[in-house]
Structure formats: C-alpha cells, structure tokens
C-alpha cells in the first residue's frame, strides 16, 4: 500500500490477507475449502454476472476467474486467439492449460461478448471432463418474454448443478442462498457508500482487494471480511487530501492491474465509484426470499440491475443515465474511462457515454490498458493532469 495511506495493524492484516488471495494463481484457498469436507465442489465463472445463488444452494463454492493479471506469462493461450483480442481470454486459457484451474469442477461463461461466448465452446473442447455452460441472458426486458426466457435458463442450470451434486436443488435452499447473498450485497453497498463518503479512509486499492477476496472465499466469510474492514478502517483517522473525486468506467470484465489503481490514486484522484467486478453489485437491491426464487432472480435482473456495456439496453435514450447517477451520488467531479484494449462493448459504448457527460458538463478523460500493463507513468501523468484541470475548472 502507499505510505500516504497509513494503516492500523488490523487493516494491514486484512489487506495483506486479501493481497495474498489476489496473488495466488494456484487457488489454494479453493483447494483448502474443498479439502474441508468430502465431496465438495467448486464452480468457476467469469465475474461480470452469473446467478451465484444457484451454486451456493447446491452446496458448492463459486469462484471468480479474472484471468492471470500481470503475474502470468501467457504462452499457450496466445495460440488460441488473434492478436487483436483482449487479453483476459488468453490468460484464462493459460490458467486452464497449466493446471491452475484443476480444482474447479465446472466453468460458467456469462453473456459478456462474442469472445467469451467462443471461449465457452473452446472450454468444452479442451476440458471434456468438466461441466461447462454459457449463461445466456435476456435482451427483451418484459417479464412474459425475457423474464420467462431467463427463468428457463436458470432452471437448466439448477437442474445441472443438482445432477452434479446428486440431488435436486429445492426452492427453500434457493431462497436461503438468496438471503445469504442479499447480506453480501448489502455489505458491498455499505463498503461503496463508505468509500464515497470518506475515500481517504477506504482507498480503492484496498477496497478492490477486499472485493477480489470475495471471488475465492465462501460468501458468508466474505461478508464478515467486509464488516471487519469497515470497522477497522473507521477506527483511526487517515490523512485527508484535496484530491479530485472521480468515477471509473469501462473495467467491467478484464480487470485493471492493482498498480494502475494505485497510480490513479497517487496522481491526486479519489475513486468514489467504479464498475470493478460487477457480479458483487449487479443486482441493486435485495431479492425477495418469500416467492418463487428463480422468478425473483429474473425480475431483479430485468428491472433492478446495473447498466453496463455488457448488458443489452434497448432504451438507447437512457444510455448514460446510470453513469450520471454514479457521478451525482458519489459527488464526483469527473469520469475516467479506463477500458481494456480491444474491448468491443466498452469501447463502442464510450462515445455515447462521453456525449451524455459533455451535455451535462461533466469532465472526463480516457485511456486503455491490459491486465498485464506494466508502464504506469503515462497513466499516472494523464490522471494527474486530469485531476489538476478539475481543480482549476472548479476554482474558476
């Protein structure tokens, strides 16, 4: 962590644990969990959005797979994709072919883009002994059409996971799991609200690691981890600086290197909202636990979920309103568009979002990165110049 953000021993302990989980590309935490009881299974997923409640209801561990970051040399994975494809599918293949994902009993590939759709098919060919499924989502947002489609898609997944564990998943089990994830989503909302209100107390380089820990820990343990962090970081005041408050947009799939986040913060920016690991915040409020669980999950997806470039939006006139709400709710002074190179959904949507920000006189800047980006000086200089210009504009 940056020396500019001193930590208490308890905060340091929590953050160091999360950083160790973040750096472990052999998924030892998942292996330890599986070794804790006979017959346990783990299901991997690309963490934009999948209905993790179904995995939990089956008694399995959901494991977020975010590529290899800047720690993995991609050799075999480069043979499977063209050079003009983003890096995360290549490094994910590298993780699989080098045995790092052998602890997983299956993989789910959510509907993000054509590259991930193709990756799901390739995974079926490469790992014939694993359960693999492409998680399709509706593009029609009427309950009777898209809602029915998505409910039926989840019903297939529910059946498959029941077969994998050896007995069907009941509605009671699903509602109980929904309640557990409601608590986790509430904890994440509290974490984001705390950071927006006091970003000097909860630097995003720490918040990001706390979120990443939830990709490999049982959800109940992750919820407690968030609560522990909030209590620990709130116990001792940290220095407050006159930084520019910004929202980061475009990082919903391939995640930025941790050093990129640190560089933006060191340049004079407080990150008050972002779209990192949207699976933790895709559903915006609690899902009812007293109805038909798959129908309730479907309604939440259709009507109460985050607006992102990975989600089809037929109401083009509403494009950018979700981002504007992020700016308003976080009292942000500008937006940083940070998208992975060759990310078609993010880069195609960016001009529309920029137009909306320009109409509302919200400053923005933009750059691209890869998960293994090593040279941070240009990014730090660009974000620092952006922060300075915001302060000049606000002063004027």
List, for residues 222-277, the tens digit of each pLDDT value: 999 999 999 999 999 999 999 999 999 999 899 999 999 999 999 999 999 999 99
Determine the pLDDT at residue 372: 87
The pair of structure tokens assigned to 244 is 């520019």
Tokens representing 77 are 């994975």
User: What pLDDT, on a 0 to 100 scale, did the predictor assign at position 233?
Assistant: 97
Ranges of CATH 3.40.50.11900 domains, the chain = 238-395
User: Which pLDDT belongs to residue 2?
Assistant: 46
Residues 6+ apart with CB under 8 A from 174: 53, 54, 57, 158, 293, 294
- C-beta of residue 88 within 8 angstroms of C-beta of residue 94: no
CATH label, 238-395, candidates 3.90.180.10, 3.30.830.10, 1.10.3720.10, 3.40.50.11900: 3.40.50.11900
pLDDT at 58: 98
The residues, any chain, with a CB within 8 Å of residue 300's CB and separated by 6 or more, are 283, 285, 287
Distance CA 241, CA 257 (A): 24
Alpha-carbon span 123 to 130, nearest angstrom: 9
- Cβ distance 327 to 240 under 8 Å? no
Whole-model pTM: value is 0.94
Please give the CATH number for the structural domain made up of 29-173.
Answer: 3.40.50.11890
Phi-psi region of 2 (alpha: psi -120 to 50; beta: other; left: phi over 0): beta
Start-end of CATH 3.40.50.11890 domains in the chain = 29-173
State which residues of the chain have pLDDT below 50.
1-3
* Model pLDDT, residue 313: 72
Specify burial of residue 392 (Cβ count, 10 A radius: 0-12, 13-18, 19+). Answer: exposed
């Amino acid at each position: 962590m940056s020396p500019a953000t001193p930590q208490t021993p308890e905060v340091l302990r929590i953050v160091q644990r999360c950083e160790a989980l973040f750096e472990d590309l052999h998924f030892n935490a998942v292996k330890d969990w599986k070794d804790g009881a006979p017959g346990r299974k783990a299901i991997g997923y690309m963490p934009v959005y999948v209905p993790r409640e179904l995995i939990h209801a089956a008694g399995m561990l959901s494991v977020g797979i975010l590529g290899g970051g800047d720690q993995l040399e991609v050799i075999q994975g480069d043979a499977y994709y063209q050079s003009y494809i983003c890096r995360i599918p290549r490094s994910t293949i590298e993780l699989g072919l080098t045995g790092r994902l052998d602890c997983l009993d299956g993989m789910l590939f959510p509907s993000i883009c054509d590259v991930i759709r193709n990756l799901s098919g390739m995974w079926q060919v490469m790992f014939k002994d694993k359960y693999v499924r492409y998680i399709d989502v509706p593009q029609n947002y009427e309950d009777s059409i898209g809602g029915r489609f998505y409910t039926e898609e989840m019903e297939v997944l529910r059946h498959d996971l029941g077969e994998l564990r050896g007995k069907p998943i009941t509605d009671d089990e699903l509602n109980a799991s929904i309640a557990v994830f409601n608590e986790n989503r509430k904890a994440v909302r509290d974490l984001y609200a705390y950071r927006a209100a006091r970003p000097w107390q909860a630097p995003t380089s720490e918040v990001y690691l706390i979120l990443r820990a939830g990709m490999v820990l049982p959800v109940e343990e992750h919820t407690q981890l968030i609560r522990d962090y909030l209590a620990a970081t709130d116990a001792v005041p940290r220095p407050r600086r006159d930084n520019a408050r910004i929202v980061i947009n475009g990082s919903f799939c391939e995640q930025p290197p941790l050093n990129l986040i640190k560089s933006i913060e060191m340049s004079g920016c407080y990150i008050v909202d972002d779209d990192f690991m949207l699976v933790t915040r895709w559903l915006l409020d609690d899902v009812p636990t007293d109805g038909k669980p798959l129908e309730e999950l479907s309604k939440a997806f259709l009507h109460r979920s985050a607006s992102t470039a990975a989600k089809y939006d037929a109401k083009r006139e509403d494009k950018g309103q979700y981002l504007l709400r992020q700016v308003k709710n976080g009292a942000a002074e500008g937006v940083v568009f940070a998208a992975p190179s060759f990310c078609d959904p993010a880069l195609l949507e960016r001009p529309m979002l920029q137009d909306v920000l320009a109409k509302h006189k919200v400053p923005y800047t933009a750059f691209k990165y890869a998960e293994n980006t090593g040279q941070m000086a240009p990014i730090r200089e660009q974000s620092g110049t952006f922060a300075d210009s915001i302060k000049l504009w606000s002063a004027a």
